[in-house]
A and B are shown apart, each in its own frame.
Chain A
Amino acid sequence: MAMTTHIDIVSAETEIFSGSTTMIFAPAEMGEVGIAPRHAPMVTRLKPGEVRVETENGETQHIYVSGGILEVQPHLVTVLADTATRAADIDEAAALEAKERAEKAMQDKSVKIDYARAQAEFAEAAAQLKAIEALRKRAHR
């Protein structure tokens, strides 16, 4: 039997592929890499591209990833695939947007959390719950 290594390809939202393989090709950031069993430990980022997995029975699986992380252990390869297209500037834009929305929501508000008011609101909610409970009990009598 040929030497194999286990590969898991997962994305944040779902599991994509898991199985034994004799050879893996992945689009690493510095160029495509081929991973044979017993490869030295390695981590690298992946570019958008195709991961090719040659399975034990000679088939080749083609899996597209839009980037991610490749971790290699001698008997275990893990591909943490991204689901979103990522680039520094896209992430930055998303971050800015999130910030702006927050600022809009925050306009003319003070910066301290009013703990006393929070407590009061909780007390009110608790009182309401109690009242509902009491009503329910009365109804069941």
Chain B
Amino acid sequence: MANVKEIRTKIGSVQNTQKITSAMEMVAASKMRKAQDRMQSARPYADKMRNVISHMAFAHSEYNHPFLHKREVKRVGYIVVTSDGGLCGGLNINLFKASIASMREWEDKNIDIDVCAIGKKGIGFFTGLGGNVVSEVSQIGDKPGLSDLIGAVKVMLDAYNEGKIDRLYLVYNRFVNSLTQKPMVEALLPLPEHKDPDEGLVKHWDYIYEPDAKSVLDGVFMRYIESLVYQGVVENIACEQSARMVAMKAATDNADDLINELQLIYNKVRQASITQEISEIVGGAAALSS
């Protein structure tokens, strides 16, 4: 049986670990709140952008943008948003599962895949598995700016414009609430078709484009895709923090259980050694007196 001192050091080390996990839990909780705020403040832009895009879909432009065409699929692009750090439960694994399931469908049709990885975990995963990672960004921190993402996204948009890829998907975790994150695979390109126009928008009209339709639409669509990716990244960060909070809470609780168990064993061992000592003394005394 383990000796008393050994158990005592073990309890000590579990307690130290528990201190770390509970600190991480609290840090994640406060970061989650901030990340949620950022998620909210990014929403108006996405909403307004969606309005503008839906207006544009009904303007009868003489210029037909490639982002609106459905092409025959020969190659597919994925933008996969993951976290930089670990210790956040099954967050990234679930995301990879969803993205691999979607990629596999293309693979079965013999269609190759390009990946744009945002976040360290995704880069590690896809390079480790031998995926074709064409662009990457990592260490964007807790407060990502749109400017951090432009480069990586542009690689994919250029590939689409040049006809290297014919579909573009965005994979990220959607923030449902602080306990639930849902991995999402969303189609970015070609742009999905729009429903009925807003009321009051008369049909058969067109914008005045300055300087010309092509360059303006290029700019708008590029920003649209970027804002969707940005929204995905911000949401993923909120997910990461909440997943980490939950994981660390579980770890702290587990440490509690472990300490209780060890304490029980410790008491038993201590008791046993006392009993043994007494019986030795009694035995010794009995031997002397007889």
Which residues in A have some Cβ–Cβ distance to B below 8 Å?
8, 10-15, 28-30, 33, 40-45, 68-69, 71, 73, 78, 80, 82-86, 91-99, 101-102, 105-106, 109-115, 117-118, 122, 125, 129, 136, 139-140
The answer to whether B133 and A102 have CB atoms under 8 Å apart is yes
Nearest-Cβ distance from residue B7 to partner chain A, whole angstroms: 17
A sample of 15 cross-chain residue pairs with beta-carbon separation below 8 angstroms, ordered by A number, consists of: A11-B45, A12-B42, A12-B227, A13-B41, A30-B210, A45-B210, A73-B55, A83-B146, A94-B147, A98-B151, A101-B135, A102-B135, A106-B133, A118-B129, A136-B257
Cβ proximity bits B46-57 to A, threshold 8 Å, 1 near / 0 not: 001101100110
Known contacts A29-B211, A80-B49; is-contact A102 B134 (Cβ 8 Å): yes
Taking a contact as CB atoms under 8 Å apart, the answer to whether A106 and B132 are in contact is yes
Seen from chain B, the residues whose Cβ lies within 8 Å of a Cβ on chain A are 38, 41-42, 44-45, 48-49, 51-52, 55-56, 59, 90, 93, 96-97, 100, 103-104, 107, 112-113, 116-117, 123, 126-127, 129-137, 145-147, 150-152, 154-155, 158, 205-211, 215-216, 219-220, 223, 226-227, 230, 254, 257-258, 261
Query: In the bound complex, do residue B55 and residue A95 qualify as a contact, i.e. CB atoms below 8 Å apart?
Result: no
Contacts of A101 in B (CB 8 A): 135-137
Q: Chain B contact residues: over half helix, strand or loop, or mixed?
A: helix
- Which residue of the partner chain, among A68, A69, A97, A114, contacts B130 with CB atoms under 8 Å? A114
| B145 interface neighbour in A13, A33, A68, A118, Cβ under 8 Å | A13
Question: Which applies to chain A's interface (DSSP): helix, strand, loop or mixed?
Answer: mixed
CB-based contact B48/A99 at 8 Å: no
Q: A83 to nearest B CB, angstroms?
A: 5
Total number of residue pairs linking A and B with CB closer than 8 Å: 175
On whether the beta carbons of B146 and A84 are closer than 8 Å, the reply is: yes
Are A102 and B117 in contact (CB-based, < 8 A)?
Answer: yes
List A contacts of B223 (CB < 8 A): 12, 68-69, 80, 82
